[in-house]
Structure 1
Amino acid sequence: MSTFGALNTAYRGLTAAQQGMNVAGQNIANAATEGYTRQRVDQSSLAAPARGLFSGGALQPGQGVSVNAISRLGSSFLDAGVRSAGAQAGYATVRSSALQGIEGILQEPGDNGISNALHGFWSAWQGAANQPTESGPKGLLLTAANSVTDKISSAYKALDSQWSGVRSEALDAVTAVNAAAAQVASYNTTIRSTLAAGGSANELIDARAKLTDQIAGLAGGTVREQPDGTVDVLVGGNALVTGGSVRTLKLAGATAMADAATDAPRVEWTNPGGTAALDGGELAGALSVLAPASGGSGGPIAEAAESYNRFATALATAVNFVHKDGVTGAGVQGVNFFTTGTGPAALSIAGPTSTANIALKSSTGGALDTSIADKISQLGTGANSPDKVWSGIVTNIGVQSRAAQQHESLTDAAQASARTSRASQSSVSLDEENVSLLTNQHAYQAAARVMTAVDEALDVLINRTGLVGR
């Protein structure tokens, strides 16, 4: 190698060391940046030139170092684990939140729950029985009956409102998936052109990875990497993003809980159509919550609403069965105490509007007979009493909520573990970067010293050769 070749070798060492310091500085600057993946300079040694006609047969050293690329130290396997855990956590979180909301509507145990209202209702019957000739206890009975029916109907309305709220959140999630997919497609186009031009797209890949994580958390998407640097994002095995093109999703189906039985909410592809099979994520969780009632295995909100209907029917049936055998204050027999109209029983159940419609005595009793009131006041103690029906409803919802919360805790722990594993591979270690910075700093100084030595040798050769003896 010529002396001028040694200068070129030193120059390559300088540029490689400088690039190493630049990359270390980039890592240090982004140590706290969310989603940033650390980078390293990918170097290789340059071989010696082939022996030629003028090489004189002498062995030649290598020609220095080549900076081949700036590598992104991420792991596709760990990224896939984070996306999978995120999809499961998103699904569990939505279900747990919905069931906790249902528990809040129950207000059990508590002063504002139906259990307390039922206790007051049975006690009011006993109070009316104790004072059959007084109008005050009968008025309190009407108030207690209205308290029960109001709590039933208001809880049902709250469930209907919660159902609408979850559907609105699902619609927002679909919009977010479509927006993220469009950004991924845009990044794909930019990354492909950048890599084709020989540039580094590491920061763009980091930004795209955050979006694919978001899509996985929302719709359970999976990612397939392509040789040109782009990624395909799949939802339910179908392509959401392919290169620079996007297929969008839409939320279809019922917009009210009352219509869910005939037109259950679902996520569909816009072009071409068809139902999108979700692998998990918040959208899948929302659709499971919005599902219609199905004998206890349907959506939790619709099942809870149906439970209120069953309870309202059971309460009205039990009270009316006894009440119809009595005679009201107006002298009428066979009158129902509770009435239910068309539509959901929880919304239509209502008590009498006047104390004259209350039957305290049986048709065969005397003027002060209160056997009907006594029987009704004891309805809360039977094996199949309305109280037992309500207690079963509360217990069932509580068990489901507890199971959902445990599932949420497990999936959150799995997600945290997956993120920790990825961070151990891709996050920046300041100690490691300081070592890299010092290593490249010394390499730069050494290369500069080589260049100085070669420069001095050339100075002697060019400027001083032949001056001796003059």
Structure 2
Amino acid sequence: MSTFGALNTAYRGLTAAQQGMNIAGQNIANAATEGYTRQRVEQSSLAAPARGVFSGGTLQPGQGVSVDAIARLGNSFLDAGVRSAGAQAGYASVRSSALQGIEGILQEPGDNGISTALQGFWSAWQGAANQPDQPGPKGLLLNAANSVTDKISSAYRALDSQWSSVRGQAADSVDAVNAAAAQVAAYNTAIRSTLAAGGSANELIDARAKLTDSIASLAGGTVREQADGTVDVLVGGNALVTGGSVRTLALSGTPSDRMGSPVQLLWKNPPGVAAPDGGELAGALSVLAPASGGSGGPIAEAAQSYNTFATALATAVNTVHQSGVTGTGATNVDFFTTAGTGPAALSISGPANIDNIALKASTGGALGTSIADKISQLGTGAGSPDKLWAGIVTNIGVQSRGAQQHESLTNAAQASALTGRASQASVSLDEENVSLLTNQHAYQAAARVMTAVDEALDVLINRTGLVGR
């Protein structure tokens, strides 16, 4: 190696060490930055020049060090695990939240629940039977009946409101997915052009990775890396993002749709039905599904349970009440009425006044209370409205508990996946300090080599041949 070649080798060592210190400083500065993936300088040694006729056949040393790239120390396998765990956690979270909301509407057990109102209703019949000639107990009976029907109808309205709220949240999630997909496409374009120009796109890749994590949490999906640095994002096996192009999503129906209307996730162009692989959207669609004999969406199933209960309560009471005589002498009169169309839970209502209450049978005496006695006992027995309601409450409670346990498990899995990725990609201050010191010493050593070569050249050029002058 010539003297000037040694100077060039030392210069390469200086620049490599300086680049290493810069990257270590970059990592330290972003140690607390969310989504940042640590970086490293990739170096390789430069080979010796080829032996030629002018080299005299002697062996030549290498030409120093080359900075080949600034590597992003991420792991696509761990990234895929984080996205999968995030999709499962998003799905479980929406379902758990919805079922806990249904539990809150039930208000069971408690003073404001239907169970307490039913107990008061049966007791009111007994009270009216004890004083059949007094209007006061009959008025209390009307109040008790209205309390039951009001709780049924208000709970149904609350479920309808919850359904609309979940649908609104699902629509917001669709907008968020479309916005994130558009940004991913923009990053794809920027990353492709940056890499093609020979630059480093690590920070752009980090920003894009955060967006793909967000899409996975909302709609599931998978990410497929391409050779040019871009990624394709697939939802349900269909491309949401391909290079710089985006295929947008939408929810079927309108915000004014009510409970029971089917809700689907649709592709806009070309049109079609999308099937999310998980995430909050898949959870919301499962919650919004129409009732289907117990296997439909939990909100619609709960609403259908209120309709079933309202119908069963009205049928049980009316069957006995129709055989009695009201205060006006009328027979075959229903105590509860429900509209022929529409949800029974919304239309159920009691008598308009106490004259429409039948306490006695048609063959009883003036103060007979056999009808009231029979109705007051309807709360007992295997097929009683109370048993039906208890089964509804138990079923919803079991579903809610299962959903909460599923949420806890998926959250733990997500935390584990994030921890695993962080152990690979996050910045360790101790490691970066070691890297900083290593490159600092390398820089000082290369500077000493450069100084020594410079001094040797000075002696050779400026001082050789001065003897004898």
TM-score normalised according to structure 2 size: 0.99
CA distance in 1 between partners of 2:65 and 2:149 (Å)? 84
Q: Check conservation: 1:174, 1:251, Cα contact below 8 A.
A: yes
Aligned partner of 1:147 in structure 2 is: 147
CA distance in 1 between partners of 2:212 and 2:147 (Å)? 51
CA distance in 2 between partners of 1:167 and 1:45 (Å)? 60
Aligned partner of 2:280 in structure 1 is: 282
Aligned partner of 2:38 in structure 1 is: 38
Q: Check conservation: 2:91, 2:281, Cα contact below 8 A.
A: yes
Aligned partner of 1:416 in structure 2 is: 415
CA distance in 1 between partners of 2:61 and 2:289 (Å)? 73
**Which runs of 5 or more structure 1 residues have no equivalent in the other structure?**
none
Alignment deviations for residues 396-415 of structure 1 (CA, whole Å, 9 cap, x no partner): 00000000001111111111
By how many angstroms is 1:255 displaced? 4.2
By how many angstroms is 1:48 displaced? 0.7
Aligned partner of 1:308 in structure 2 is: 306
CA distance in 1 between partners of 2:242 and 2:400 (Å)? 39
CA distance in 1 between partners of 2:368 and 2:255 (Å)? 53
CA distance in 2 between partners of 1:93 and 1:360 (Å)? 51
* Secondary structure class of the residue paired with 1:110: coil
By how many angstroms is 1:60 displaced? 1.1
CA distance in 1 between partners of 2:255 and 2:194 (Å)? 45
Alignment of 1:246-395 (within 5 A): 246-253=246-253, 255=255, 258=258, 260=260, 263-341=261-339, 342-395=341-394
Aligned partner of 2:229 in structure 1 is: 229
CA distance in 2 between partners of 1:393 and 1:257 (Å)? 26
Question: Residue 117 of structure 2 aligns to which amino acid in structure 1?
Answer: A
By how many angstroms is 1:468 displaced? 1.3
Alignment of 1:154-233 (within 5 A): 154-233=154-233
* Secondary structure class of the residue paired with 1:275: strand
Question: Residue 376 of structure 1 aligns to which amino acid in structure 2?
Answer: I
Q: Check conservation: 1:120, 1:144, Cα contact below 8 A.
A: yes
By how many angstroms is 1:254 displaced? 6.0
Q: Check conservation: 2:323, 2:362, Cα contact below 8 A.
A: yes
Question: Residue 424 of structure 1 aligns to which amino acid in structure 2?
Answer: S
CA distance in 1 between partners of 2:305 and 2:102 (Å)? 12
User: How many residue pairs get matched?
Assistant: 468
Question: Residue 391 of structure 2 aligns to which amino acid in structure 1?
Answer: G
CA distance in 1 between partners of 2:342 and 2:258 (Å)? 9
Q: Check conservation: 2:31, 2:427, Cα contact below 8 A.
A: yes
* Secondary structure class of the residue paired with 2:274: coil
Q: What is the alpha-carbon root mean square deviation over aligned residues?
A: 0.9
CA distance in 2 between partners of 1:339 and 1:356 (Å)? 15
CA distance in 2 between partners of 1:253 and 1:293 (Å)? 17
CA distance in 1 between partners of 2:171 and 2:334 (Å)? 44
Q: Check conservation: 1:163, 1:257, Cα contact below 8 A.
A: no
Aligned partner of 2:72 in structure 1 is: 72
Alignment deviations for residues 79-121 of structure 1 (CA, whole Å, 9 cap, x no partner): 0000011111111100000000000000000000000000000
CA distance in 2 between partners of 1:465 and 1:57 (Å)? 28
Aligned partner of 2:129 in structure 1 is: 129
Aligned partner of 2:57 in structure 1 is: 57
Q: Check conservation: 2:43, 2:67, Cα contact below 8 A.
A: yes
CA distance in 2 between partners of 1:257 and 1:130 (Å)? 49
Question: Residue 212 of structure 1 aligns to which amino acid in structure 2?
Answer: T
Q: Check conservation: 1:105, 1:158, Cα contact below 8 A.
A: yes
TM-score normalised according to structure 1 size: 0.99
* Secondary structure class of the residue paired with 1:395: helix
* Secondary structure class of the residue paired with 2:65: strand
Question: Residue 68 of structure 1 aligns to which amino acid in structure 2?
Answer: D
Q: Check conservation: 1:160, 1:257, Cα contact below 8 A.
A: no
By how many angstroms is 1:52 displaced? 2.2
CA distance in 2 between partners of 1:163 and 1:257 (Å)? 10
CA distance in 1 between partners of 2:255 and 2:11 (Å)? 69
CA distance in 2 between partners of 1:251 and 1:222 (Å)? 21
* Secondary structure class of the residue paired with 1:432: helix
* Secondary structure class of the residue paired with 2:155: helix
Alignment deviations for residues 110-163 of structure 1 (CA, whole Å, 9 cap, x no partner): 000000000000010011000111100000000000000000000000000000
Question: Residue 409 of structure 1 aligns to which amino acid in structure 2?
Answer: S
Question: Residue 422 of structure 2 aligns to which amino acid in structure 1?
Answer: A
Q: Check conservation: 2:48, 2:60, Cα contact below 8 A.
A: yes
By how many angstroms is 1:281 displaced? 0.6
Residues 424 and 17 of structure 1: CA distance in aligned 2, closer, same or farther (over 3 Å): same
Alignment deviations for residues 365-395 of structure 1 (CA, whole Å, 9 cap, x no partner): 1011111101101100121100000000000
* Secondary structure class of the residue paired with 1:379: coil
Aligned partner of 2:433 in structure 1 is: 434
**Which runs of 5 or more structure 2 residues have no equivalent in the other structure?**
none
CA distance in 2 between partners of 1:459 and 1:40 (Å)? 37
Aligned partner of 1:106 in structure 2 is: 106
Question: Residue 327 of structure 2 aligns to which amino acid in structure 1?
Answer: G
By how many angstroms is 1:277 displaced? 1.3
* Secondary structure class of the residue paired with 1:467: coil
By how many angstroms is 1:256 displaced? 5.3
Aligned partner of 1:87 in structure 2 is: 87
Q: Check conservation: 1:233, 1:240, Cα contact below 8 A.
A: yes
Establish whether residue 463 from structure 1 lines up as the match of residue 455 from structure 2: no
Where does structure 1 differ by over 4 angstroms across 4 or more consecutive aligned residues?
Answer: 254-259
Question: Residue 71 of structure 2 aligns to which amino acid in structure 1?
Answer: S
CA distance in 2 between partners of 1:224 and 1:448 (Å)? 45
CA distance in 1 between partners of 2:258 and 2:53 (Å)? 91
Question: Residue 324 of structure 1 aligns to which amino acid in structure 2?
Answer: Q
* Secondary structure class of the residue paired with 2:272: coil
By how many angstroms is 1:292 displaced? 0.3
